A and B are shown apart, each in its own frame.
Chain A
Amino acid sequence: MHRFAKPSVFLKLTGAMMPWVVALTVILTAAGLYLALIGSPVDYQQGNTVRIMYIHVPAAWMGLFCYVGMALCGAMSLIWKHPLADICARATAPVGATFTALTLITGSLWGEPMWGTWWVWDARLTSMLILLFLYLGYIALVNAFDDPERGSKAGSALALVGAINVPIVKFSVDWWNTLHQPASVARMGGPTIDPSMLAPLLIMAFAFTGYYFIVLVLRVRLELNQRRIRALQLSGLFDERPVASGDHDELAYDQGHNAGASK
């Protein structure tokens, strides 16, 4: 695993995967949107309002998925001091926060016509709002220190403690009475959603996952490049001569990257 955690390896690997993932995500998004908005039937009760579900549910899944990823990266950064894990956690936070906010907004837009209210303080809605605050708290915390390493430590601790909220979000609808419905897809006894609606939902979920992967790689790349620039500036390389060979390029990534990691 440590082998893959080297920035140069990460860049090579993701660089090779990127065009395929982008192509796949574009296709999935186009197909998913068509099926969700036009090519799927209306619901017997909700009518066309059901189409909000095709955004709401994948966004909610991704909100939780990103948090799990962020907490795992936080654990790796705390335990093994992997700088790349820390970068991944920091890169995931705003994406996960956006997915969570999207869930809350679309849920609210659906709730008004269907439930008759924009918002209630039931266990599912409240725990999802807490999830958003955990993301925002993490983002604020990691940026609150002059020393990035201290920020990472505090942020990782917060991400890990907040991970307790993830099963609470998922099982809130089973443990307590809520206005929010129980699970329709990931439940014992199979989905309670018609296959003609489940298919677009799953396609949208894969499209959202692809989108997350793309944004994550772009954000990690940006951070690696910024660190590399900083390392090159520190080494005084910019003052003297331009970088000569490709080999040197790669070395600079890992050197700058691991500057604080060998402890």
Chain B
Amino acid sequence: MSLSRAKSRKRQRMYIVMAALLAVGAAAALALTAFEDSVVFFFSPTEIAEKSPIDPDQRLRVGGLVEEGSLKKLGGGETVTFIVTDMANAVTISYTGILPDLFREGQGVVAEGHMGSEGQFIASEVLAKHDENYMPPEVADSLKKSGYWEEIEARNAEQMRN
């Protein structure tokens, strides 16, 4: 008799633990959904287009792939402009400073700054966003030759839209 009581107490404790976990999980899910805009690290060009016009005083981050052939050096070469795209929309970014080593056309970047006039984004910091692909240089070369590379870039752009 006393043994079964101990058993039922254990079962009770198990239910309490499971119920508590469910409640905490639900609370976390609600909180994270409610604050989604502050949890995301950057906005894609599409989200920027949806949100515009954006207050020029508001600091935000834009992320996307650097469009091939869009990198231009202005003046003495200190200031650069480039286009960041998610293959649906694009934002032109101007930045004065040193670009990270991984900054390359066709690669992901995240720029922090504010909207300027004429829809240009003035960045005060540019970070390179490394993608999930790891391979030796030879493999990268052969992928580029075989045309499989576009597939990887399309997937990266997809992720930027998220």
Contact = CB atoms under 8 A, between A and B. Distances in A.
Contacts of B132: 181-184, 187, 192-193
Interface residues of A, number: 41
A197 B135 contact: yes
A180 to B, nearest CB: 9
Contacts, number: 120
B162 A120 contact: no
Given A160-B17, A160-B21, A184-B134, A80 B101 contact: no
Interface string A76-117: 001110000000000000000000000000000000011111
A192 B133 CA distance: 5
Contact of B136 (A117, A187, A194): A194
A31 interface: no
Given A184-B132, A184-B134, A194-B135, A177 B40 contact: yes
Interface string B134-162: 11111111000000000000000001101
Contacts of B134: 43, 50, 53, 184, 192-194, 197
A179 B102 CA distance: 13
Given A115-B127, A184-B134, A194-B139, A176 B41 contact: yes
Interface string B38-59: 0111111000000000000000
Given A114-B100, A115-B100, A160-B21, 12 more contacts: A43-B134, A45-B130, A46-B130, A80-B10, A116-B127, A120-B127, A163-B21, A164-B25, A168-B32, A179-B41, A179-B127, A182-B159
Interface of A: 41-46, 50, 53, 75, 78-80, 113-117, 120-123, 160-161, 163-164, 168, 175-179, 181-184, 187, 192-194, 196-197
